[in-house]
Each structure stands twice: as C-alpha cells, then as structure tokens.
C-alpha cells in the first residue's frame, strides 16, 4: 500500500475522491473513469487512477472466477471478489477522506500516470 500524503485538500476534493472510491462498489469502473478523464488535479487524478486500475483488475478477476465456476472449481470465488471489492473500496474511501492516496492491493497497473 502506498500512503502518499498530500497537502490539505479542500472538502470538495475529498468528497469527489470518496465518492469515486465508493462508486466502484455500485457502478464498477465508470465513476473512476469519469473522474480520471474530467479532473486534472494531481491528488484527485491519482486516486481516480488507483480506483480505475482496481476496478479493471476486478473485471478480470470476475471473468476468471466465472470460468472456474463453469468447471465447478470456484463456486465461491465471485462472492469473494464482491466482498474484497467492497472492503478495499471502503478502506480507500476512509483513507482518502483523510487526504491520502490509497493504492489497492492485488491490482494490475493498466493506467500509469
């Protein structure tokens, strides 16, 4: 995990980042992609990039888990990924509300700054 501390950000910036992380639970990669494309602030963009990389990695994990479900090996893997997504997004939201950039574990870096 990367605990990059940034200067004190405005409450609006923190709210945008928290909603970006929490939006991943309900809407997948769309909130983080939208924020990544629209915002140019370094701290917001860093958090959106981390969230987007995590959500894209989650899509790959879902695909692999459903393939394993078909061959009857991974019956509980999709539920495990749902729980991990919720936990990691909640931790990221809490950390970013404190002004930190959170790097999700188990993430493939598709998008680099």
Instruction: Specify the pLDDT at position 69.
Output: 85
Determine the Cα–Cα distance for residues 66 and 48; give it in Å rounded to an integer.
27
Instruction: Specify the pLDDT at position 1.
Output: 42
Residue 8 token pair: 């004190």
Strand partners of residue 5 = 100
Task: State CA 24 to chain mean position distance.
Answer: 6
Determine the Cα–Cα distance for residues 79 and 102; give it in Å rounded to an integer.
23
Sign, CA dihedral 85-91-97-100, equals: negative
pTM over 0.95: no
Determine the Cα–Cα distance for residues 82 and 7; give it in Å rounded to an integer.
33
User: What integer best gives the mean pLDDT of the chain?
Assistant: 88
């Amino acid at each position: 995990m990367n605990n990059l501390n940034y200067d004190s950000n405005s409450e609006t910036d923190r709210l945008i980042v928290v909603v970006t992380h929490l939006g991943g639970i309900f809407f997948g990669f769309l909130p983080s992609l939208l924020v990544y494309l629209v915002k140019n602030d370094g701290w917001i963009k860093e958090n959106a990039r981390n969230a987007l990389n995590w959500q894209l990695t989650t899509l790959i994990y879902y695909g692999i888990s459903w393939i394993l479900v078909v061959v009857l090996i991974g019956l509980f893997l999709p539920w495990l990924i749902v729980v991990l997504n919720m936990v990691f997004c909640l931790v990221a939201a809490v950390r970013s509300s404190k002004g930190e950039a959170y790097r999700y574990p188990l993430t493939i870096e598709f998008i680099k700054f």
